[in-house]
Amino acid sequence: MTAAPSSASYFHSLSWSQRFWRDLQPGPGRLNATLRIVLTTAISLVLMMVLQLPFASLGLYYIFLVARENPATSVRSSVMALLSLVLAVASVLAVVILFDNDPMARLLSVAVAAFVTGMLMVASTLPPLAAIWGFVYCTLIALWERPAPPDALVKACLYLLATVGLAALVSSAVEFVFANHHPADLLARQLAQRYQTAARAFTLLAEGASPVALAESATALSRLAATGQRPMQDLYNLAAGRGGDTRKLGAGVREQITLLAEFMDVAAAFASRYSGGVDPELRGRCAEIARLCRERSIGEAVPEGTASDSPIDRVEAVLRSLLSIPAGSAAEADKPSAAVRAPAKKTPFLVPGVITNKDAVAFALKLTLCVMVCYVFYFAVAWPGISTSVTTVFLTALGNTGAINQKLANRVLGSAIGGALAIGASVFLFPHMDSIASLVLLISAIAFVSAWVACGRHFGYTGLQIAFSFYLVAFEGFSAPTDLTPPRDRLIGIVVALIVMWIVFDELWPVRTVTAMRRALASVLSGEAKFLRLFESSIGDQARNQQIDALRDQLSRTIAGMRTMNDNMEYELGAHRTKDRRESEAMLDVALATVPLFWNQLAVLHHDQRGRRLLNEPRLIELRNKMAAQMDAMAGAIIQKKPFAPLQSAELVEPSMLEDPETSDYVAGTTARLEDVQNRVSGLIAGTTGSGA
Query: Can you tell me the distance from the alpha carbon of 229 to that of 419, in angstroms, rounded to the nearest whole number?
Result: 31
Q: What is the number of other CB atoms lying within 10 angstroms of the CB of residue 637?
A: 19
Q: From CA 146, how far away is CA 307, in angstroms rounded?
A: 62
What does the domain layout of the chain look like in residue ranges? Answer: 517-693
Contacts of 650 (CB under 8 A, 6+ apart): none
* Cα–Cα distance for residue pair 611/615, rounded to 1 Å: 6
Q: Against a cut of 0.85, is the pTM above it?
A: no
For 7, 92, 243, 262, 563, the CA distances from 567, given in Å and listed in that order, are: 9, 38, 34, 12, 7
Hey, CA dihedral for 483, 488, 489, 491, is it positive or negative? positive
Q: What angle do CA 648, 521, 268 make, to 5 degrees?
A: 95
For Cα atoms 447, 452, 455, give the angle at the middle one, nearest 5 degrees. 120
Task: Give the residues across from 124 on adjacent strands.
Answer: 350
Distances (CA, A) of 303 to 49, 113, 404, 668: 65, 55, 41, 12
Indicate the DSSP class of residue 69: S
**Cα(48)–Cα(311) distance, rounded to whole angstroms?**
54
Q: Residue 345's pLDDT is what?
A: 47
Q: At what angle do helices 485-501 and 358-380 cross, to 10 degrees?
A: 140
Handedness of CA 637, 643, 645, 648 (dihedral sign): positive
Cα–Cα distance, 565 to 559 (Å, whole number):
10
DSSP letter for each residue of 113-142: HHHHHHHHHHHBS-HHHHHHHHHHHHHHHH
Task: Decide if 374 contacts 497 (C-beta within 8 A).
Answer: yes
Q: What is d(CA 634, CA 518) in angstroms, rounded to the nearest whole number? A: 11
DSSP code of 506?
I
Query: What pLDDT does 251 receive?
Result: 57
Residue 13 CB neighbours (<10 A): 13
* pLDDT at residue 532 in the model: 83
Total length of the chain:
693
Q: Are 687 and 586 in contact (CB under 8 A)?
A: yes
* Average pLDDT per consecutive 10 residues, the chain (693 residues; last block may be shorter): 45 70 79 90 92 87 75 72 86 91 92 92 77 87 85 87 89 80 76 88 89 82 75 72 55 74 83 81 90 75 47 83 62 42 52 72 91 92 86 79 80 87 87 86 94 86 88 74 75 86 84 87 90 75 73 78 82 77 86 78 60 72 87 91 84 76 76 86 77 41
Other Cβ atoms less than 10 A from the Cβ of 226: the count is: 22
Asked if 672 contacts 304 with a C-beta cutoff of 8 angstroms, the reply is yes
Q: Taking the CB of residue 523, how many other CB atoms lie within 10 A of it?
A: 16
| Cβ-based neighbours of 576, under 8 Å, separated by 6 or more | 691, 692, 693
* Rounded distance between C-alpha atoms, residue 490 and residue 493, angstroms: 5
Predicted confidence at residue 333, as pLDDT, reads 40
**The pLDDT value given to residue 634:** 93
Q: 683: which residues sit within 8 A by CB, 6+ positions away?
A: 1, 3, 307, 586
Residue 104's pLDDT is what?
93
Quick count: other Cβ atoms within 10 Å of Cβ 301? 6
What are all long-range contacts of 31-38, with beta carbons under 8 Å and residues at least 24 apart? 32/178, 32/180, 33/68, 33/451, 33/455, 34/448, 34/451, 34/452, 34/455, 35/448, 36/68, 36/174, 36/175, 36/178, 37/63, 37/64, 37/447, 37/448, 37/451, 37/454, 38/444, 38/447, 38/448, 38/451
Asked if 187 contacts 232 with a C-beta cutoff of 8 angstroms, the reply is: yes
What are the residue ranges of helices labelled H in 617-693?
618-640, 649-652, 655-659, 664-688
Q: Which pLDDT belongs to residue 317? A: 80
The per-residue b/e assignment along 565-597, b for 16 or more CB within 10 angstroms, e otherwise, is bbbbbbbbeeeeeebbbbbbbbbbbbbbbbbbb
517: nearest Cα among 639, 631, 405: 639
Report how far residue 256's alpha carbon sits from residue 610's, in angstroms, rounded to the nearest whole number. Answer: 24
Strand partners, 350: 124
- Cβ atoms 82, 164 nearer than 8 A: yes
Residue 287: per-residue pLDDT: 92
